[in-house]
Amino acid sequence: MKLTRAAIRLPFIMSATLFLTGCLAPEKIDADITTDGYDYTMRVESTLAEPRAVMAAAEGRLSEQDEAGAQRMAANDADMPGFERFEYIGEGRFELVVNLAGTLEDGQATGFPNTRGRQNDNYLRIVRLEGGTLEISSPEIPAQNLAQLEQLPFKPIGTVRITPAPTDRVLEHNADRAPAMLDRAYLWNVDSWEDRIFIKIAPQGQ
C-alpha cells in the first residue's frame, strides 16, 4: 500500500535530550538503513541546523560566546552511541555521522539524531511496535506549522534508503521508488518539510 507523503497529524519534534540548547533539524541528510528481523543497521551522514542560531548568524547576531557554547555541546555529546563524528562547523550548523547497529526488543525504539532517544525525540525513528511489526518514519508536520518552517533559511535536502531483508514483508510504505530487480532498497528523495518517510515491515514469522 502506498500512502500519501504529506500526511498531517503529529507535531514536528526535533528536541532531544542531548540537544539542550534547542532543536536541531536536518539540512542535509544521506541515510542508509537495513533491517533483518528485529536487527537493524543505520548509517547517516548529515548537516544539522539549529534554526534560531542559523537565523541569528544570517542577521549577524550570533556571538562568539554562542559559537563557543555550541562547540562545547558537540564535544560533550560526541560519545553518544553510534556517533562517528559530531562537530560544530559554525553559523548554527553541526556535522553528524552516525553508524549504529542493534536489535530492537519489544516496544523499543532508536533513531537519528538522538540514538538514545525515544521515538518522539528523532527525525528518523525505528520502532518495534506492539504486535511485532517494525515502523521506520519521520515526523508528520501539522499544517499550521508548515508556513513557519518555510520561513527558515534552509530546508531538508537528501536521500533515505531502507532495505528490508528478503524474508521481511513490507506492509505499507510511501517511498518515491520501490525496489528494482537488482536493488532491494526503498528510496525517498527529501527536498521539503512536507516530505515524510514511512514504512511498516513485518519480520519473518509475523
Domain that holds residue 37: 25-202
Q: In which residue ranges of the chain is pLDDT below 50?
A: 1-22
User: How many angstroms separate the CA atoms of 21 and 162, rounded?
Assistant: 31
pLDDT in tens, 32-68: 999 999 999 999 999 999 888 888 888 889 888 888 9
pLDDT of residue 205: 67
Q: Is residue 126 part of a domain?
A: yes
pLDDT in tens, 163-186: 999 999 999 999 999 998 788 999
Q: Is residue 88 part of a domain?
A: yes
Name the 3-class secondary structure at 38.
Answer: coil
Q: Is residue 5 part of a domain?
A: no
Number of domains, the chain: 1
Q: Is residue 10 part of a domain?
A: no
Close Cβ partners of 46 (under 8 Å, ≥ 6 residues apart): 26, 27, 28, 29, 30, 31, 95, 96, 97, 98, 112, 113, 158
Q: pTM surpassing 0.75?
A: yes
pLDDT of residue 144: 79
